[in-house]
Each structure stands twice: as C-alpha cells, then as structure tokens.
Amino acid sequence: MSIRLTPYINHLDKSFKESNTRNYSLSMQIDLHGLVFSIFNPDKNKFIGLQSYHFPNVDNYAQLPSLFGQILNQQPWFAFPFKEVTVLIQNRYATLVPQPLFDQNHKNLYLGFNHPFQENSRIVYDQLKNIGACMVYYASNPLVEKVKDFWANARILHFSTAMIEGLSANFKNKLDVNTLFINVQDNSFDLVHFNQKTLHFYNQFLFNTKEDFIYFLLLSIEQLSLNPENVNLIMMGKIDKTSPNYDMIFRYIKHFKFIEKNKNFQYSYLLDQVNTHHYYVHFNSMLCE
C-alpha cells in the first residue's frame, strides 16, 4: 500500500527534544480514518505536541501497521522509548458490562450478543474504575502487535473507556440530570449521560445523513426523559459551527456548547490554533486509572 502521509495538524513546542522522550508521555488515538498523537511533559504538566494524520482509503485494521512504518520513516523519534504510552483504539466493536455482572471467561459472549465476529482480532477488556464497569472490545491482532513492537510498555484502551472515565473524573461534581455529552465522529456519535454522579446511559449510533444524526439524538433525549428545551448538550469530537450536524443541533436543541479543555493541564501556545474540543478525549486519556 502506497499512501503519502502528511500531518494536517503538526504542532511541536520549541521545548520538545527528541533526546528527552523517556521523560514524556505519548498518547495516541487510532481508527480507520486516521491517527492522532500528543506529547505530554509530566514535569511541567503540559502538552507540548500534537500531530494528526488522515488515512485515505483504509478499510481494514490490518493495513495500519504499514502506516506506522511510513510515519517512522518521516520522524524516527516517534518510536523512541517514552515514559508512558497510551493507545486508544477507536472502533464500534465494544460493549459496556457492569462490573458485578462481568466474568472475563465469558467476554466473548458479551461481544457476540451485540457485534459480529471479527477475524484476526483478540477480545480484550478495560476496567472503568470510576463507574464500576468493564468495556469489552475487539482489538486487531496486527495493530496490537505492531504497537507492542514499538512500545512494549504501551497501555491499550478503547476510546470509549477514555471518554467515559475522563468525563466522570472531570465532571462528577458539576453534573445535573439535564447534562448530556455527545462525541461526534465521521459517521457515528457517542452519547453519555450521568445521573447522580453515576453513569446512566452510554451508546453509539451510526448515521449516514444529518437527518439520521438528529433523529437518533432527539430519540435518545426522549428515551432519557429529557427535553430538547431543557437539556444541556456538551459537544466534542468532529463537529464545528460549519458542519451540517451542528446546524441540526442549532435548529432543535436550545442549550448547547463545545466542551472546554481541562484546565488542570497546561498547553503549549501552539495549541491555541487547534479546536481543543476535537481532542478532548485524547487529552484526558491519562485520567484512566
């Protein structure tokens, strides 16, 4: 496969040093549409780098290892040892199971109930300690093996794990029953709702059109016994004021806003050029215990 990879976002603070990667934390988010990674300096509690790549015409996770290789050819330090490495796998083959009902010996049954079998994949799970649940999901074998080849100490999580745990950690004392979180992706969106500081609802919806998008959103609001006039919708992910999905929210939802960046972290001035709500989950992935 021959794809020329050029980051469409490429910000590295002048304080970043290739020779110092062992003192940095690397966070990566990957799906069939692309790859995002950030560099965090724990000593300064500061994000000092962000790069984002788009993968055209990729339809299989087995293709991703070769794309890693292409990025390495452009910047070898990407595979240097880091103090910590967190990799978020973003796919729709995941199921959330309450901890009291979870048995790791039956994890294949949980996934099989909701998702088709995925060839050349392993079934793994994350523990969501903030909410007392487990996220069970398929992870591509070639992808996991390539990640471990680069970073043997890498911690692999599902994207939804990082999203739910990050929101729970950052908003547990700021929530009311009308708050609803939405994370928009290329052709799907995630909804997260908390009630009395506990997770009340999580689901992912696939959509093809903006009409599909607003239909599933309004239906979920109704099923949660909320009201489009009263719900406080907090938006993150791939949504901006120019997107069709934003226009639908503007027309049907009264109270909405983009999620604010976590002020417990510092950010390089270069990241002022970035819509940080696009990368909220990514920036908060280290909050997963």
Segments forming the whole domain that contains residue 223: 172-258
Query: What are the CA-CA distances from residue 183 to residues 103, 163, 167, 187 (Å)?
Result: 29, 9, 11, 11
Tell me, what's the pLDDT at 3?
57
Same domain, 68 and 145: yes
CATH code for the domain in which residue 198 is found: 3.30.420.40
Asked if 190 and 202 count as a contact pair (C-beta separation under 8 A), the reply is yes
Pairing of strands 46-54, 9-12: antiparallel
Over residues 97-132, the pLDDT tens digits come to 999 999 999 999 999 888 989 999 999 999 999 899
CATH code for the domain in which residue 26 is found: 3.30.420.250
Same domain, 62 and 156: yes
Global model pTM greater than 0.85 = yes
Domain count, the chain: 2
* Residues with Cβ within 8 Å of residue 147, at least 6 apart in sequence: 87, 154, 156
Which token pair is 28? 């990566």
Same domain, 180 and 217: yes
Answer yes or no: is 102 within a domain: no
Tell me, what's the pLDDT at 2?
53
Same domain, 212 and 279: no
Answer yes or no: is 103 within a domain: no
Residue 158 has pLDDT above 90, yes or no: yes
Same domain, 273 and 208: no
φ and ψ of 94, to 5 deg? -145, 150
- Average pLDDT for residues 238-262, to the nearest whole number? 96
Same domain, 195 and 142: no
Answer yes or no: is 228 within a domain: yes
Residue 76 has pLDDT above 50, yes or no: yes
Using 50, 70 and 90 to split pLDDT, how confident is the model at 174?
confident
Same domain, 162 and 270: yes
Answer yes or no: is 87 within a domain: yes
SS3 content of the chain, % helix, strand, coil (to 5): 35, 35, 35
